[in-house]
Amino acid sequence: MASTASDSPELAATVLKHAKAEYEAQLQNGVKHDSFDHFLTTLVSPESSKPSPISTDTSHKISQYFISSSHNTYLTGNQLWSKSSTDAYKDVLKRGCRCIEIDVWDGDSPSSASSSDAEGQTGKPRKESEVKKLRGLFKKGLDKLKSNDKPIKPVQDEAARPDSSPGEDHMPTPWRTMSGRAEPKVYHGYTATKEVPFRKVAEVIRDYAFRKSDLPLIVSFEVHTSSEQQEIMVEIINDYWKQYLVPIPSDFSETTPLPTLESLRKRILIKVKYTPPEKADKSLSKTTSHEESSDDETQGEQVKKGTIIGALGRLGVYTRSCHFHGFDQPEAKLPTHIFALGEGKLLDLHEESPGQVFKHNLDYLMRAYPKGTRVRSNNLDPAPFWRQGIQMVALNWQQMNAAMMLNEAMFTGTGGWVLKPEGYRLENGTLPALKRTDMDLTIRILAAQGLGIEESMPDAYVKCELHVGSQSDDGTSDFRDGGKNKGGEWKRKTSVRHSRDPDFAGEALSFAGVTSVVPELSFIRFKLMDEDRFQQDKMIAWGCYRLDRFRPGLQLLHLSDLSGRGCNARLLINSTMSVVASAQAGQVAS
């Protein structure tokens, strides 16, 4: 590494050379700087590499926002045999997630000899031999899958308080004398995943819900428990979250409009199926509870769930789950309803009735989730679903893949709630014209530094991808691939350099004639890659930006590693972008 003046940061010789050339070019073009050292100090500052700041307008009702959302939040790895852990909830909440999921099943009494075993759908303890048999069957056919599966590594949040969460000594007094009763568990049903007590999950959510953001947290319940254990759920919820629960307005009814985001700061919204009192009193075996299981597409009628009791259902004030039959069903017009649909079902709906999903989401909430066959905890591509106006696109947060990079770019610095752009939300009952742009973008790749490890010299190249969505007039091609995450629609890459501090000599990556772009829902992704002639190329580091928050000009990008943490890798670029209003700017999205 080459050193600059004592008060300037240390940079690789390749980066320093290009920075000096860019500095001199700016001086020749009339740009004034105090000194080269001051120029470098600004260039290397992390703030200079961050997305352009935005302020969140919280005056709109909550259906007018996109919400950072997690699927099967409790899992630390794959969907079949990984552990359920409270650490997974800590991790996503510290990273700004605002919609988490809890699958709740009947628990067994702690006094039982099998109390530490996972439990099946009937509430009876799963014997250790049965769990081992399940795991053996899964592992036998999926050893290769497991070898690539990495448990979640919580991202450290320097701004967060030390982990001094209340433990047993802080357990509310009423529960100290009731430790012998059976309490609900959290795990992925019909798999060999290990469970975690619902009480522990509730405690962690209480302690971490508002550390990163004070905007509301939606807790999406998938309830598989008996009515008796639902009563225990309600007691635990009230005991741990009561101060955060949404108060029920005195004049509340099914037609009560959704509140504004501002009015729900530091509130927990319970998302659960609402059962009218007259139905809740009927036989518990006749209806289903929360008919939006993330495995509906594969389990079908295999899952039989109990009716939601009134006390639990009433906690879902503005976020009431409804089983989807069609957009013409009565519940589809109630302000507080939420439809939750798998990616496959959404694709079918879009093919059957293009525009209906988008039209519904102009005014009402919807949640999308990955199909059950994504057992490796991989993800759908969230961008096409956001472009359909779906507020909660639930992703598997267990690994940092392309979908999670887009999610990071979408929500960073926003508190987890992003106001939909014009053309995606109603204004005084009318829909403004959608603002699309045509764009030419050129990125000169100057140099990089800090790639890989000292003992290994990478064959490095830069891959740049634009995720800009469909360019067709009707916007339907986004969904024709089923939301498969195949990377950006536009891809460019540099030549290969054998170096940890490669000099790319200003190689230009040009994206000319990109049309019909919605900048707020489009992304640019940089990947530092290590070429491998015999295996798949490996990613070294990455950076991702929403197009409307990407800063043209000279930047030293601070990149992240494969776990999402900041790392030592840096990429020096100089970009130019020209934008004009698109000829399709006035068209309604579909």
Q: What is the CATH number of the domain that holds 478?
A: 2.60.40.150
Asked whether residue 323 is assigned to any structural domain, the reply reads yes
CB burial of residue 245 (10 Å; 0-12, 13-18, 19+):
middle
- How do the pLDDT tens digits run along the chain, 590 residues long? 444 433 444 899 999 999 999 999 999 999 999 999 999 999 999 999 999 999 999 999 999 999 999 999 988 876 676 788 999 999 999 999 999 999 999 998 665 534 334 333 333 444 455 555 555 545 554 554 444 444 445 444 444 444 444 443 444 544 443 567 899 999 987 776 789 999 999 999 999 999 999 999 999 999 999 999 999 999 999 999 999 999 999 999 989 999 999 999 999 999 999 776 656 555 444 434 444 444 444 333 333 455 899 999 999 999 999 999 999 999 999 999 999 999 999 999 988 988 999 999 999 999 999 887 676 667 899 999 999 999 999 999 988 999 999 999 999 999 999 999 999 998 888 888 888 999 999 999 999 999 988 778 999 999 999 999 754 434 444 555 555 555 678 999 999 999 999 999 999 999 999 999 999 999 999 999 999 989 999 999 999 999 999 999 999 999 999 999 999 999 999 999 998 887 765 544 54
**281-331 pLDDT per residue, tens:** 554 444 344 444 444 443 333 334 558 999 999 999 999 999 999 999 999
Residues 332 and 205 grouped into a single domain: yes
Asked whether residue 243 is assigned to any structural domain, the reply reads yes
Q: Which residue has the tokens 């302000």?
A: 335
Residues 406 and 493 grouped into a single domain: no
Three-state secondary structure call for residue 264: helix
Q: What's the whole-model pTM score?
A: 0.84
Asked whether residue 297 is assigned to any structural domain, the reply reads yes
How many CB atoms sit inside 10 A of residue 308's CB?
Answer: 28
Structure tokens at 479: 């969904």
* Sequential DSSP letters for 439-453: EEEEEEEEEEE--S-
Give the chain's domain count: 2
How far from chain centre, in Å, is Cα 489? Answer: 21
Asked whether residue 8 is assigned to any structural domain, the reply reads no
Q: Which residues contact 302 (CB under 8 A, 6 or more apart)?
A: 190
Q: For residue 414, what is the domain's CATH number? A: 3.20.20.190
Residues 415 and 467 grouped into a single domain: no
Q: What is the DSSP letter of 384?
A: H
Residues 324 and 397 grouped into a single domain: yes
Asked whether residue 241 is assigned to any structural domain, the reply reads yes
Q: What is the DSSP letter of 167?
A: -
Domain boundary among 375, 392, 419: 419
3-state helix, strand, coil in the chain (%, to 5): 25, 25, 50
Asked whether residue 314 is assigned to any structural domain, the reply reads yes
Domain boundary among 419, 453, 487: 419
Asked whether residue 278 is assigned to any structural domain, the reply reads yes
- Cα 389 from Cα 421, distance rounded (Å): 10
- Cα 147 from Cα 134, distance rounded (Å): 18
- Cα 279 from Cα 308, distance rounded (Å): 9
Residues 453 and 409 grouped into a single domain: no
**Residue type at 117 in one-letter notation:** D
**192-225 pLDDT per residue, tens:** 678 999 999 999 999 999 999 999 999 999 999 9
Which residues make beta-bridge pairs with 576?
442
Structure tokens at 220: 């999406």
Structure tokens at 424: 């995606």
Structure tokens at 556: 């030293």
Residues 396 and 461 grouped into a single domain: no
How many CB atoms sit inside 10 A of residue 328's CB?
Answer: 8
Instruction: Tell me which residue range forms the domain holding 320.
Output: 63-159+183-419
Residues 188 and 235 grouped into a single domain: yes
Structure tokens at 88: 């997974």
Q: Are 204 and 165 in contact (CB under 8 A)?
A: yes
Residues 251 and 388 grouped into a single domain: yes
Domain boundary among 355, 390, 419: 419
Nearest to 98 by CA among 8, 204, 213, 203: 213
Residues 445 and 352 grouped into a single domain: no
Structure tokens at 352: 């059957």
Q: Are 74 and 88 in contact (CB under 8 A)?
A: yes
Residues 342 and 236 grouped into a single domain: yes
Q: Which residues contact 576 (CB under 8 A, 6 or more apart)?
A: 441, 442, 552
Residues 445 and 544 grouped into a single domain: yes
> E-strand spans in 487-552?
490-493, 497-498, 503-517, 523-530, 538-546
Residues 409 and 476 grouped into a single domain: no
Which residues make beta-bridge pairs with 119?
125
- Cα 556 from Cα 353, distance rounded (Å): 46
Nearest to 301 by CA among 283, 315, 284, 288: 288
Helical spans, DSSP H, in 459-546: 477-480
- Cα 493 from Cα 560, distance rounded (Å): 19
Asked whether residue 150 is assigned to any structural domain, the reply reads yes
From residue 11, alpha-carbon distances to 21, 360, 393 in Å are 14, 52, 40
From residue 286, alpha-carbon distances to 56, 227, 305, 323, 362 in Å are 44, 13, 9, 15, 34
**Residue type at 150 in one-letter notation:** K
- Cα 61 from Cα 411, distance rounded (Å): 18
**Residue type at 424 in one-letter notation:** Y
